[in-house]
Structure 1
Amino acid sequence: MDSLLPTVEDLLARVADQEILSRFNKLTELDIHYKDGRRDIVTTADLEAENRIREGLLKIMPDSVVIGEEDAFKNPEILDKLNGSTPVWLVDPVDGTRNFSNGKACFAVICALVVDGVTQMGWILDPVAGACIYTQKGHGTYLGEQKLNLNFQPDDLQSLTGSLGECIQDRFKKSTADDVPERLVRYHCVGREYMDLALGKIHFALYGGKMMPWDHAAGVLMVQEAGGYARTINGERDYSPRRQGSEERLLIAPNAPTFKSLLQLI
């Protein structure tokens, strides 16, 4: 495994402790700002953590580019850097910002390293639990020293736990079919969901919308390196961080046969 893995994990943990956890349940009105009407928010913790992570990553790898969610909101053209050959770091400093601002301990710090459009490494940190899952392409996915393995063959779809949006959840709940999954969740924090997908606590998930790369690059690689299966549902293409904003839908499953079965339901 590359020495970058523990170095970046230490950076994320240190910044999370100093800039995120120090503000958890302590935000004032002055710490919360609205990015898009009143639908999307950003806090002082997001901004300060992103700045600190950017500084740290550029010290670790000077000849690289950092694309943070908050910087990209102000400067969307920076996403074009993903189409070049320079190594790119993707950072979501506080994934699940609304949970964080509401005092709900379900948020994460996400980081991925992309080279030539391919995700090579990824980290997702749960600051509250102090747990970090990390992955490297071709080398597996780990929680600490434990290598994660999604060696899971479900007996039926009904026994699965999955993350779905509200509309599809309603459709599933109204279905009279025998094989529809019954345990459906949505954390409103994709990073924490990817952690549980890699751990096998959630068995499948469907994501859509703009598919911003800081949300999905690390998590998709984690699931795949743990033995899981992730494809777009239109054409079953591999996920690529270069295709942000494409309105694709991405289905995560423990294996290809389960993916096919879920795809028929969806």
Structure 2
Amino acid sequence: MTTLSSTDVDWLVTLLAGVAATEIMPRFRNLGTGDVQQKTSAADLVTEADVSAERAITAALLKRFPDCVVIGEEAVADNPALLDGWSKTDKLAFVIDPIDGTFNFASGVASFGVMLAVVKNGETIAGIIHDPVGKDWIMAQKGSGAVLRRSDGQTSALTVAAPLGAVDRMIGSASWQYMDEPARSRVAGNLGKCLGSVAYRCAAQEYRLLAGGHIHFALYHKLMPWDHLAGSLITMEAGGYLRRLDGSLYQPADMDGGLLAATDADSWHLLREALLQA
């Protein structure tokens, strides 16, 4: 059971939409030359929208939950020590990715999302992913299933696709670009064994496709909590199977080991063998 009430969840949903409407969407396809900065590479960007959105979400969370812990992607970029021991707190911890898919956002491509996960005592208890363009949310609370909530308040259950039993019938996503060689070339080449692949450069949208039954897997190498905690919970609550590449459970404190999400355990093992083999 979570320590979030239905009123709290509704408030979080409204918060993400409100910040997206005021801080993100007015800047979409309207960024100035000084509004986009590189972090670690030309593919790793931060914009004024990321910073402003995270600042607004953080302030609202601290006002409603004064004793909470807030872990934001941009705050951690400025102060990596924020990640030290954060997941062990018995307080509510909110993990924010103000814009997942910043490269797309900065490029004017409408494939990005706002991600928020709630962690308590080392366990992810809620996850929300907001699509500011489509103006809806995918969301889950632990043990309660996953749903798509539309802007009119209507909800529908999310369910992963039926297992297919063969890799050459599956479509999915693999973020090989963050891997070191030789794994990088190996995974990129092995994707050809699948029926097809998608590359949204946006975990928020990839988890949406997986939890909604539109693709069959998603493989990730780089594990940052704001990128995967919300989506991993939503995927599992939609009936999917998600583990680190060594088969261990994915925990909020995990920062390495890769991550593979699939429709079921059998497909997970088939995909790990097919995508990672030399």
TM-score (ref. length: structure 1): 0.92
Question: Residues 68, 154 of structure 1: CA spacing in aligned structure 2 closer, same or farther, 3 A cutoff?
Answer: same
Alignment match, 1:113:
118
Q: In the alignment, is residue 218 of structure 1 matched against residue 252 of structure 2? A: no
Find the partner of 2:251 among 221, 225, 240: 240
Query: Structure 2 counterpart of 1:197, which letter?
Result: L
Counterpart Cα distance in 1 of 2:33 and 2:252: 34
Query: Structure 1 counterpart of 2:228, which letter?
Result: H
Secondary structure of 1:29's partner?
A: coil
Alignment match, 2:266:
257
Question: Residues 215, 47 of structure 1: CA spacing in aligned structure 2 closer, same or farther, 3 A cutoff?
Answer: same
Q: In the alignment, is residue 25 of structure 1 matched against residue 29 of structure 2? A: yes
Query: Structure 2 counterpart of 1:2, which letter?
Result: S
Query: Structure 2 counterpart of 1:230, which letter?
Result: L
Alignment match, 1:94:
99
Query: Structure 2 counterpart of 1:241, which letter?
Result: P
Q: In the alignment, is residue 82 of structure 1 matched against residue 87 of structure 2? A: yes
Q: CA deviation at 1:186?
A: 1.4
What is the alpha-carbon root mean square deviation over aligned residues?
1.4
Structure 1 unaligned residues grouped into runs of 5+: 174-179
Percentage of identical aligned residues:
39
Counterpart Cα distance in 2 of 1:39 and 1:198: 26
Counterpart Cα distance in 2 of 1:119 and 1:67: 13
TM-score (ref. length: structure 2): 0.88
Secondary structure of 2:34's partner?
A: helix
Q: What are the Cα deviations for residues 146-183 of structure 1, in whole angstroms up to 9, with x where unaligned? A: 1112261215322211101353232332xxxxxx3121
Question: Residues 155, 238 of structure 1: CA spacing in aligned structure 2 closer, same or farther, 3 A cutoff?
Answer: closer
Structure 2 unaligned residues grouped into runs of 5+: 150-154, 177-184
Q: In the alignment, is residue 206 of structure 1 matched against residue 210 of structure 2? A: no
Bigger CA drift: 81-90 or 19-28? 81-90
Query: Structure 2 counterpart of 1:84, which letter?
Result: T
Counterpart Cα distance in 2 of 1:257 and 1:22: 44
Secondary structure of 1:231's partner?
A: strand
Bigger CA drift: 51-60 or 146-155? 146-155
Q: In the alignment, is residue 42 of structure 1 matched against residue 46 of structure 2? A: yes
Q: CA deviation at 1:243?
A: 1.4
Q: CA deviation at 1:55?
A: 1.1
Q: Number of aligned pairs?
A: 256
Alignment match, 2:158:
148
Find the partner of 1:130 among 130, 135, 138: 135
Counterpart Cα distance in 2 of 1:252 and 1:74: 30
Q: In the alignment, is residue 66 of structure 1 matched against residue 70 of structure 2? A: yes
